Amino acid sequence: MFSLPIRPTTSRQLARIDRQLRTLSGVSDRQLREQSATLRYRAAAGESLHRLLPEAYALVVEAADRTLGIRHYDVQLLGGIHLANRCVIEMETGQGKTLTATLPLFLHALRGQGVHLATSNDYLAQRDADTMRPLFSMLGLTCGVVVDGMDDAQRRHSYRCDITYATAAELGFDFLRDRLKRRAAAGASTADRSELQPVGRELDFLLADEADALMIDEANTPMIIGAPSRISDQKLSLYQWAAQTAPDAIEKQHYRYNLRERSVELLPAGRQWARQQLSVGLMDGNSILDLFEKLERAITVDRDFHRDQHYIVRDGEIVLINEATGRLGEGRQWQDGIQQAIQAVERLPITAPTTHAAKLTVQGLFLSYRHLAGMTGTAVAAASELRKVYKTNVVRIPPLHKSRRQALSTRYFADDTEKYQAIVDEIIAIGHAGRPVLIGTRSVENSQRLSRLLRDANVPHQVLNAHQHASEAKLIALAGRAGQVTVATSMAGRGTDIRIEDDVVERGGLHVILSELHDSPRQDQQLWGRCGRQGQPGTYRQFLSLDDAILDQAYGDQAAAGYRTHRRGNQAALLSTAQQTLEQRRRQNRLTALYHEKRRLRAVWEMGRDPLLDVM
């Protein structure tokens, strides 16, 4: 049964699971549930999960076969064993991570302390919980899901389940709100305490799906619960003045730009120029330092924050776009005056900057769990950082099926116009063969641009970006049909399972087009990983040009313009180096932020205060 090149200890565990499985074939559903209850009793009595693992995993395999009609493969059992030992496993896309996750989730749930699976979005959390609920139910366990829009009663019910699926953001904000409730309850009357009951439990075991995205790319994403504050009319006028003035500021003449930190500092000549732009009465109630600060933020926004790339405007509000996933960051705001500067640019009502009632990063949340594990299709490249920060080993699980995914030669172009026309031509050619095509773009703006070109060429297609997030499941369900063309942002990357029809397999499978390089090669790999899944055929190709935004992000606007002018003959090396530069910079920024956060936490603890609620 097991013929994989694995360690002797792991091989023995696999053999025990195999022996245990043979005893379950004639067991009734009721007896299966009774065996599960026995394991829970043994775990509560203090027996180690390592000893219980073979019996527990055998029960999960049998329950999956009976309820879902699918059986765990050897590689999934191997992955489950490593997930039980504080590891992050790398399984190729399409190898069944969702089913693999049921193994450690059931094992850790035996202790009755509640386990969490963190996903990157509500769609995946709801989908996976609904899919696996019958399996857990057969074994006598409850399975809940926490998604945006739930009230406290619904959240409390889901967290009281043995296994809970949720996004990292929902888990983090509920953890912070519970901490605030406990502080408030300590000084409240008995009658008021009933309204301050926490919704969650202690943080015991977390399994991170798409682990490198959550544990690396979004590690420093802050989850902040704001406290009410007010903003004066004088401050409102200052934000509006800065938004109007910023586009006229000239780099190196009026301000200095720090590419690594993405920050602006006014030069002496810039401060003098700013004073000359003042209108009558603007300084009433404002200091000159306020004026300089608001102008610096406005210049930063004018340079680095763009509508339909970093945010959208919906119902008169700014909604952030997560650049790594292409999804909306509901409820999130930029800090340090950036949110207000963008509102001023978009001529929206300017909200008061929030003061911090509680603050936590995704990284801080994950490190708060007693036990941690993760799974993804792209972990090996981030292995050193995962080991350094989370003390987790990375293990690559061999694929079940030999990959039939084919990489076609990358095409390079002098500018975007040529590139997008070539993409349209390839879409038409692939479509004539009856194959579906998925085109990945980095921004909402670029997905809309490509959509217009396809419409002009009379090519039927669908678009999936932050504006269509409510229709995601429907659009993904259609994406694998013969001749279907789907233009998408990174929303169609991680965790997205595009099922192709049988006749499409015969024609060569899904074709994926990458229209730009992402900040990390891991993100590119996740996108082209949508094709050629589970041994099916598939192809992908990259279309790149020197107009791509990654040059500006890596080198700055002026340096990028110079490269475009003088180095048009070396596109491949230039773009590849830009991606490496950007990834290394982001990694260094994360490690620097971790260092400063550790120092802040230590300082707050030494003062006898709560580092999450008493934010400094």
Binning pLDDT at 50, 70 and 90, where does residue 3 land? very low
Name which CATH class applies to 8-223+362-396.
Answer: alpha beta
Handedness of CA 405, 409, 414, 418 (dihedral sign): negative
Query: Worst-scoring range by mean pLDDT, 86-95, 259-268, 524-533, 601-610?
Result: 601-610
Q: Annotated binding residue at 76?
A: yes
- pLDDT tens-digit readout, 400-446: 878 889 999 999 998 899 999 999 999 999 999 999 999 999 888 89
Angle between helices 233-245 and 288-304 (to 10 degrees): 50
pLDDT category, 502, cuts 50, 70, 90? Answer: confident
Whether CATH 3.40.50.300 fits 404-545 = yes
pLDDT band at residue 469 under the 50/70/90 scheme: confident
Superfamily for domain range 230-353: SecA, preprotein cross-linking domain (3.90.1440.10)
Q: What tens digit of pLDDT does each residue of 57-66 get?
A: 999 999 999 9
For residue 587, give every residue at least 6 positions away whose Cβ sits within 8 Å of its Cβ, in sequence order, or none. Answer: 385
Q: For residue 1, what pLDDT is reported?
A: 36
In this predicted structure, the answer to whether residue 173 has a pLDDT above a threshold of 50 is: yes
CA atoms within 13 A on the CB side of 303: 24
- The reported pLDDT for the residue numbered 93 is 75
pLDDT range class, residue 562, cuts 50, 70, 90: confident
Residue 187 confidence (pLDDT): 65
User: Which of helix, strand or coil describes residue 310?
Assistant: coil
Percent with pLDDT over 70 in the chain: 95
Q: What is the mean pLDDT of residues 25-53?
A: 94
* 11-25, 46-60, 254-268: range with highest mean pLDDT: 46-60
- Mean pLDDT, range 86-113, rounded to an integer: 92
What mean pLDDT comes out for the span 345-373? Answer: 87
More confident residue, 282 or 547: 547
pLDDT at residue 492, as a whole number: 72
Least trusted range by pLDDT, from 137-151, 198-212, 578-592: 578-592
pLDDT band at 192 (very low <50, low <70, confident <90, very high): low
The yes-or-no verdict on residue 267 having pLDDT over 90 is yes
- The answer to the question of whether 448 is labelled as a binding residue is no
Domain with CATH 3.40.50.300 in the chain: 8-223+362-396, 404-545
Output 234 or 73, whichever has higher pLDDT.
Answer: 73
Q: Which pTM was predicted? A: 0.81
Where in 101-153 does DSSP place strands (E)?
A: 115-119, 143-146
- 26 — pLDDT class (breaks 50, 70, 90): confident
Query: Residue 377 has what pLDDT?
Result: 87
- List where CATH 3.90.1440.10 sits in the chain: 230-353
Nearest to 74 by CA among 50, 49, 51, 91: 91
- Cα 226 from Cα 428, distance rounded (Å): 50
The answer for residues whose C-beta is within 8 angstroms of residue 202's C-beta and 6 or more apart is: 113, 114
